[in-house]
Amino acid sequence: MFVVINDKVNAEFAAELTASGHPTYFLKRTPGERNPRIILTLLNIIRRHDIRLIHAHDSGAKHFAMLSKFYRSMSVGYTIHNTGIVASWDRVRLRLHRQFVDWNIAISAAVERECQAVKLTRIFKVHNGIPLASFGGGDRPRNFGTPIRLINIARLYPRQKGQDILIRAVGICRARGLDVRCDFVGNPPEGDHKTMAGLEQLAAAEGVSDRIRFHCDRTDVRTLLDDADIFVLPSRYEGFGLVLLEAMAAGVPVIAADIDGPAELLVDGSNGIKFKVGSAEDLADKIVALAGRPEVAACLAKTAQRFVTEFDIANMRDQYFAIYSQMMKVV
């Protein structure tokens, strides 16, 4: 059964859900809407289909799931998708979470450690997965011609994702004589009308406006990766780094900040390159060095492709189903 609460949904995705043959509900909730009809409709759906387990992936869904426990006996789980989330809860939020959430899924060892630090119980570590078949087989030779093509795929949110660091690194590379271009793929948070302008101003200040391109509303991630020489993840913090797996599977050598989530995936110099978090200078050093050694880049990419096979989304699915089965026994 599928329930899409919000009114914004990809038309192709909606069509796939409808064609699946499973009961599908579109509640068309507008942003910020607090109409109680949504809650009542969801409770009716729970009753109609005898739902006994809810797995929430964001705070709004978690709060609804917690409320549903007043309606009937329910097993409630919550996936923590980033570092810093559980640490930000005050005592009241933490107490409510412990009382009403029965099990927790951490997407990485870093997130798992944070869950343990606040004494959450029934913690399962399940790495996010990707559909390997959609990204695998990327064997296009990357000869690092002119220009060197960098790519970053992430939400345009520099405070976390560090796009400003990469723009500054492009400026440093340019000053050192390296002909480099960088594509930023992603959208700013909904309603954010300042981030894009701020990044464009930074590119102009660094003298690299002609070397930076922004691509919003793109879904052809594999095509974009195929056109790139190096994938860069300059995040300041990251719970895991799913897009790193996508780049690895596509055969693109990766450079990422040495932070908890990506550090769990990358062995520096083996399946990728790490740089000092927040340092545009160190990132530029790594880009220039890798650009000058295409044979090393090819070796990194091959090793990464072998490494990423264990992160197929089917493995994540199987782990989830095993947890669901276990948690249903305690309802």
Do 273 and 157 have their domain in common? yes
Do 197 and 284 have their domain in common? yes
Do 212 and 230 have their domain in common? yes
Q: Please give the pLDDT value at position 60.
A: 87
HEC letters along the chain: CEEEEECCCCHHHHHHHHHCCCCEEEEEECCCCCCCHHHHHHHHHHHHCCCCEEEECCHHHHHHHHHHCCCCCCEEEEEECCCCCHHHCCHHHHHHHHHHCCEEEECCHHHHHHHHHCCCCCEEECCCCECHHHHCCCCCCCCCCCCEEEEEECCCCHHHHCHHHHHHHHHHHHHCCCCEEEEEECCCCCCCCCHHHHHHHHHHHCCCHHHEEEECCCCCHHHHHHCCCEEEECCCCCCCCHHHHHHHHCCCCEEEECCHHHHCCCCECCCEEEECCCCHHHHHHHHHHHHCCHHHHHHHHHHHHHHHHHHEHHHHHHHHHHHHHHHHCCC
Q: Please give the pLDDT value at position 81.
A: 95
Q: Please give the pLDDT value at position 221.
A: 86
Tell me how far apart the alpha carbons of residues 232 and 296 are, in angstroms, rounded to a whole number.
16
Do 250 and 157 have their domain in common? yes
Rounded to the nearest 10 degrees, the angle between the axes of helix 242-249 and helix 294-307 is: 110
Q: Please give the pLDDT value at position 139.
A: 60
Do 85 and 213 have their domain in common? no
Do 12 and 50 have their domain in common? yes
- Give me the tens of pLDDT residue by residue for the chain, a chain 331 residues long: 888 888 888 888 999 999 999 999 999 988 888 888 888 999 999 999 999 999 999 998 899 999 999 988 999 999 999 999 999 999 999 999 999 999 999 999 999 999 999 999 999 999 999 999 888 765 666 678 889 999 999 999 999 999 999 999 999 999 999 999 999 999 999 889 899 999 999 999 999 999 999 999 888 888 899 989 999 999 999 999 999 999 999 999 999 999 989 999 999 999 999 999 999 999 999 999 999 999 999 999 999 999 999 999 999 999 999 999 999 887 6
Domain count, the chain: 2
Do 97 and 153 have their domain in common? no
Do 163 and 284 have their domain in common? yes
Do 102 and 186 have their domain in common? no
Do 156 and 286 have their domain in common? yes
Do 173 and 300 have their domain in common? yes
Q: How many CB atoms lie within 10 A of CB 186?
A: 18
Q: Please give the pLDDT value at position 119.
A: 96
Cross-strand partners of 18? none
Q: Please give the pLDDT value at position 326.
A: 93
Residue-number span of the structural domain to which 98 is assigned: 2-130+312-328
Do 247 and 321 have their domain in common? no
User: What does the angle CA 150 – CA 152 – CA 154 come to, to the nearest 5 degrees?
Assistant: 175
Q: Which residues contact 166 (CB under 8 A, 6 or more apart)?
A: 150, 152, 182, 184, 232, 234, 280, 283
Q: What is the CATH number of the domain that holds 47?
A: 3.40.50.2000
Q: Please give the pLDDT value at position 237.
A: 94
Q: Please give the pLDDT value at position 330.
A: 73
Tell me how far apart the alpha carbons of residues 232 and 238 are, in angstroms, rounded to a whole number.
13
